[in-house]
Amino acid sequence: MLPVISDAQILLPGVFAQLTVPSFEYPRIDAPPALWLIGALPPGPPTVWQPPSWWPELSQRRVVALTQGTVADHDLTDLVQPALDALADEGVLVVAGLGGREIVAGELRVPSNARVESFFPFDALFPLADVVVTNGGYGGVQLALHHGVPLVVAGGSEDKPAVAARVADFGVGVDLRTGRPGTAAVGQAVRRVLDEPAFRRRAHDPSAEYRSADPVHAVLDIIDGV
């Protein structure tokens, strides 16, 4: 469910169930009774997936999870390469997932402190991450907050600028305000999120809401009510 919704969308159905929690949505004094905030879909069952041999390294350094999503991943110079370059000399482990996209030899400059995989389940990585760098997909951002992980967001298309604005406005991370950030901007934002504990503290607030929400049963209750 996209975060940007119009009044017409809300008022047309008897119930409009939005997949989010109150602490990650702007308060509205004019919110109609039809609008229900029911929480995001919870993490699914474990994926049949074998962790790579380097996975134990995640416990040895601070971890930056990096993703450019699964749709806007045709040009990795948008976010993946600037982030890899920005963090190459930092004392962190950068773990980049390409959303199932095939890794082309020579396409990326991968520094020694980075690990790049075609795919890994976010449910496995995000609980181990200190910050998530993302292009702002709504589901991935909410999953990071489900685990209480602060974010750096570079959203430039679809609903992503609206998602990034929420990240900044609710204090759970930094909005880079572009889909193609420069290397210096990414590095500065990541260092800020890692160095300022307030971001992680604030990310824990929606985490409790996401964990306690039960959107599946909420939808079933709505259907029963109808």
Q: Given CATH 3.40.50.2000, say whether it is the number of domain 55-210.
A: yes
- Give 37's strand partners: 18
The dihedral formed by the CA atoms of 43, 44, 48 and 54, expressed in degrees to the nearest 10: 0
Helix (H, G, I), strand (E, B) or coil at 14: coil
So where are the chain's domains? 7-42+212-225, 55-210
Contact assessment for residue 75 and residue 12, using Cβ atoms and an 8 Å cutoff: no
- Between residues 103 and 2, the one the model is more confident about: 103
Q: Work out the end-to-end distance of the chain between its first and last CA atoms, rounded to an integer number of angstroms.
A: 21
Q: Which helix (H) or strand (E) holds 65?
A: strand 62-67
Average pLDDT on 145-150 reads 96
Paired tokens of 35: 């609008």
Q: Distance of alpha carbon 143 from its chain centroid, rounded?
A: 6
What is the pLDDT at residue 11? Answer: 63
- Segment 20-76, tens digit of pLDDT: 999 999 888 877 888 889 998 877 766 678 899 999 999 999 999 999 876 555 667
CA 174 to chain centroid, in Å, comes to 12
Distance CA 169, CA 1 (A): 20
Instruction: Report pLDDT for 62.
Output: 97
The rounded mean pLDDT for the chain is 88
pLDDT level of residue 5 (50, 70, 90 thresholds): low
* Whole-number Å distance between alpha carbons of 123 and 55: 14
